[in-house]
Amino acid sequence: MTTWGLPDWLEPVARAAEVVEPEQMSRFLPPESGGGRQSAVLVLFGEGPRGPELLLMERASQLRSHGGQPSFPGGALDPEDGDPRTTGPLRAALREAEEETGLDPAGVQIFGVLPRLYIPVSGFVVTPVLGWWREPTPVRAVDSGETARVFTVPVADLTDPANRATAVHPRGHTGPAFLVESALVWGFTAGVIDRIMHYAGWERPWDRAKQVPLDYHA
């Protein structure tokens, strides 16, 4: 992976990816037994009308798993993606992003990966793959049965303290949340965004006492 050609504003993310430890990203780490379904997501940064932005999608509401929840493009590794310990997650992240949003992978420059994390509710071991959208192409919800919409969020909105809150799950656990683009971003996706902004030095002080309750279907 190369950081050559990245815009200056993205360099802090690349540097953070090189040094951040798994425990600094999440308390949910892959099982030591090696279990869990290997998967990857594409954390894709681009340049939009309002400056730096991040690509997200909203899962279709009828899906049994994480229905209606904003997320990064991504999914489970296929055998043809290759070794999950090396380049497999990179191929999977690009392949899934193309399948879900219609983007052209040729315009994406992979510049880093974050530590593998674990989603206990689904048993996925997820590698966040960092990309620079060097040559943007049109995106859309390719399969309406899987994806409700595909959208970008300005980084300025993600760092705005007015758009930040603490999500409170009915079971009692809490985590970071973002209220952006008519969406509530929470869970795994919000956690990764939160840690990226923190370790890249983009985070601004925000009111952690501001809470947003999640419903029982979350």
The pLDDT tens digits for 7-34 are 999 999 999 999 999 999 999 999 988 8
Confidence class of residue 164 from pLDDT cuts 50, 70 and 90?
A: very high
Quote the CA–CA distance of 109 and 141 in Å, as a whole number.
22
pLDDT at 126 over 70: yes
Average of per-residue pLDDT across 79-93? 95
Q: pLDDT at position 63, please?
A: 52
Beta bridge partners of 211: 166
- Higher pLDDT: 12 or 121? It is 12
* Distance from C-alpha of 119 to C-alpha of 193, rounded to nearest angstrom: 15
Q: Is 3 helix (H, G, I), strand (E, B) or coil?
A: coil
**Amino acid 171: pLDDT:** 82
Report how far apart the first and last C-alpha atoms of the chain are (Å, whole number). Answer: 36
SS3 state at 134? coil
Decide if pLDDT at 2 tops 80: no
Residue 199: phi, psi to the nearest 5? -80, -15
d(CA 180, CA 184): 7
Element spanning 58, H or E: strand 51-59
Task: Indicate if the pLDDT at residue 66 is higher than 60.
Answer: no
Name which of 165, 196, 198 is nearest 179 in CA terms.
Answer: 165
Name the residue type at position 50. Answer: R
Please say if the pLDDT value at position 172 is more than 90: no
pLDDT (average), residues 87-115 = 97
